[in-house]
Chains A and B, each alone.
Chain A
């Protein structure tokens, strides 16, 4: 696609997704907002897991660090919101870098274990944080202060979430179609050959982990003002597996797949719960196994395959 029409396509998608915010009401808005958060998280997790090939389970922990940091800095300590926002993001980046330095030396299973341990550590800190983190009950009764003089309320907050998804997608697509993205994929496919081609494997791994974890922190900051409540259970381990299901069902390594997977897996329980109750998790499990066995490119792969067939 030439440059100008690509910009138009982006603008059209952002406008359409934003317009939806003004049309939806009450409960549907809540569902839509959370779906946007899931899409943002799925996009960055897809880069880490699907493109960089790092089997890390710390994504929600970084979302939690972002959410808690911004609320504590802005509302408990009382810093100006801009400073709290930058501080929370910087904390995520710094923490991700510190975790990445030893963790990216580990391969596959051991990286998974190390990042699981880090996730548990974050949860313990939140649970035991006393009045600062609100313990297991979390923090409530705060509101997003005016940003640059504008009070962002109602559908305009949803528009902000659309922009978050757009920014996340744009950043990751740009990185993917560069030497950095190719280095990530090359390391995933064959780290020995990647090094022989001059890729600094350690540096690229640490960068990929830090960047995607910081984007998770950004989504966490946005999440903190969806319900104006945060509590530790959201950032627990159940959700990281849901995120993994989204990536696998949607199509690991594909940005489109991450979006489709997030929408399908997030919305499916609303349809399935009246029929099978909490059994929808079993449905997901079966879907994941079937995807891995018969459609490794996921739902996105199905789409591009059909498009290719129609083209010929």
Chain B
């Protein structure tokens, strides 16, 4: 294990009945690093996210965040330790305003007790005002349009992606998990998203992302991990990955040694 790793995943395995979705995965993530997780559909990328975020408990292996074991911990406790995420499909709080959506992302950073709230104590008022200022900053940072009290359920898909990102960042995370953040974005939105992600990483936040769009991903990621059938088949810089034969085979459907025909992973 690298001494400076923020997150370390070791021997991570998840079985659903007879199906092994993730097997023996090793991952390390440094502060400020952008690590991309790629692989064909069904490779186990989203399962890996769900294991790290605590939605599933692993069948074997361990996950540590800042030296603390987080595997098997409830989702909200992992979030409180500074791990925030976005979802592959937009999951807004549809009955709430845009600002309130982002403020929910700040939940773990708000310390006022119920008594502080009921008595309207200064601690609560100041914290709330600061949270609202931060939410407005994040709206601008991710490139959402300014009208903050728009009907969230009517947001176009692309802006819904940006809201997911703003909501995750509102928790001032140490690490963010982004599940296909660029899907459905226009070219200018994608360029802006790439700049935002670089900006996040420059502040020391570790970024783990799943993405399919290689034109978006390769210039952005510091390191790429390739999964296929739940296993890591390659790891390296974007340049190394782009010319790795096994990766090309997995993606292009295997002209040489048909990946889909490999035994033992069905």
Q: Contacts of B96 on A, CB cut-off 8 Å?
A: 182, 185-186, 189
Given contacts A171-B118, A175-B117, A178-B112, A197 and B128 within 8 Å (CB-CB): no
Q: Contacts of B106 on A, CB cut-off 8 Å?
A: 179
Contact check: which of A175, A185, A197, A253 meets B79 at CB < 8 Å?
A197
Interface pair A186/B117, CB less than 8 Å apart: no
Q: Mark B121-132, 1 if CB is under 8 A from A, else 0.
A: 000100010000
CA distance A174 to B113 in the complex (A): 12
A189 nearest CB neighbor, chain B only: B93
Interface pair B84/A196, CB less than 8 Å apart: yes
Q: Contacts of B68 on A, CB cut-off 8 Å?
A: none
Q: Contacts of B120 on A, CB cut-off 8 Å?
A: 174
Given contacts A189-B93, A199-B76, A253-B95, A194 and B117 within 8 Å (CB-CB): no
Interface pair B117/A198, CB less than 8 Å apart: no
Question: Is B26's beta carbon under 8 Å from chain A?
Answer: no
Contact check: which of B74, B93, B128 meets A186 at CB < 8 Å?
B93
Question: Is B160's beta carbon under 8 Å from chain A?
Answer: no
Given contacts A174-B117, A182-B103, A198 and B108 within 8 Å (CB-CB): yes
Interface pair A182/B104, CB less than 8 Å apart: yes
How many residue pairs between the two chains, A and B, have CB atoms under 8 Å in the bound complex? 86
Minimum CB–CB distance from B7 to chain A (whole Å) comes to 16
Question: Is B230's beta carbon under 8 Å from chain A?
Answer: no
Interface residues of A in 168-207 (CB under 8 A from B): 171, 174-175, 177-180, 182-183, 185-186, 188-190, 192-201, 207
Q: Contacts of B94 on A, CB cut-off 8 Å?
A: 189-190
Minimum CB–CB distance from B45 to chain A (whole Å) comes to 17
Q: Contacts of A192 on B, CB cut-off 8 Å?
A: 55, 91
CA distance A195 to B76 in the complex (A): 5
Contact check: which of B91, B93, B107, B114 meets A198 at CB < 8 Å?
B107
- Number of B residues near A (Cβ < 8 Å) is 33
Q: Contacts of B231 on A, CB cut-off 8 Å?
A: none
Q: Contacts of A253 on B, CB cut-off 8 Å?
A: 95
Question: Is B87's beta carbon under 8 Å from chain A?
Answer: yes
Interface pair B107/A196, CB less than 8 Å apart: no
Contact check: which of A171, A174, A185 meets B100 at CB < 8 Å?
A185
Minimum CB–CB distance from A51 to chain B (whole Å) comes to 9
A170 nearest CB neighbor, chain B only: B118
Question: Is B14's beta carbon under 8 Å from chain A?
Answer: no
Contact check: which of A174, A189, A197 meets B171 at CB < 8 Å?
A197
CA distance A224 to B95 in the complex (A): 37
Question: Is B85's beta carbon under 8 Å from chain A?
Answer: yes
Interface pair B104/A183, CB less than 8 Å apart: yes
Minimum CB–CB distance from A268 to chain B (whole Å) comes to 27
Interface pair B75/A193, CB less than 8 Å apart: no
Given contacts A178-B112, A179-B112, A180-B117, A198 and B95 within 8 Å (CB-CB): no
Q: Mark B81-112, 1 if CB is under 8 A from A, else 0.
A: 00011010001111110001001111110101
B105 nearest CB neighbor, chain A only: A197
CA distance A193 to B105 in the complex (A): 9
Interface pair B118/A175, CB less than 8 Å apart: yes
Given contacts A182-B96, A186-B96, A194 and B118 within 8 Å (CB-CB): no
Interface pair A178/B117, CB less than 8 Å apart: yes
Q: Mark B160-178, 1 if CB is under 8 A from A, else 0.
A: 0000000100010000000
Given contacts A195-B75, A198-B80, A186 and B104 within 8 Å (CB-CB): yes
Question: Is B35's beta carbon under 8 Å from chain A?
Answer: no
Interface residues of B in 181-239 (CB under 8 A from A): none
Question: Is B250's beta carbon under 8 Å from chain A?
Answer: no
Contact check: which of B55, B114, B124, B167 meets A197 at CB < 8 Å?
B167
Interface pair A196/B53, CB less than 8 Å apart: yes
Given contacts A179-B110, A180-B114, A185-B100, A198 and B87 within 8 Å (CB-CB): no
Interface pair A194/B104, CB less than 8 Å apart: yes
Q: Contacts of B104 on A, CB cut-off 8 Å?
A: 182-183, 186, 194, 197, 199
Which residues of B are in contact with A by a Cβ distance under 8 Å?
Answer: 53, 55, 74-76, 79-80, 84-85, 87, 91-96, 100, 103-108, 110, 112, 114, 117-118, 120, 124, 128, 167, 171
Leading 6 A-B pairs by shortest Cβ distance:
A198-B79, A198-B108, A189-B93, A193-B91, A195-B75, A178-B117
Which residues of A are in contact with B by a Cβ distance under 8 Å?
Answer: 171, 174-175, 177-180, 182-183, 185-186, 188-190, 192-201, 207, 253
22 contacts between A and B (CB under 8 A): A178-B112, A179-B106, A179-B117, A182-B96, A182-B103, A185-B100, A186-B93, A189-B92, A189-B95, A190-B93, A194-B93, A194-B104, A195-B75, A195-B76, A197-B79, A197-B104, A197-B105, A197-B108, A197-B167, A198-B107, A201-B76, A253-B95
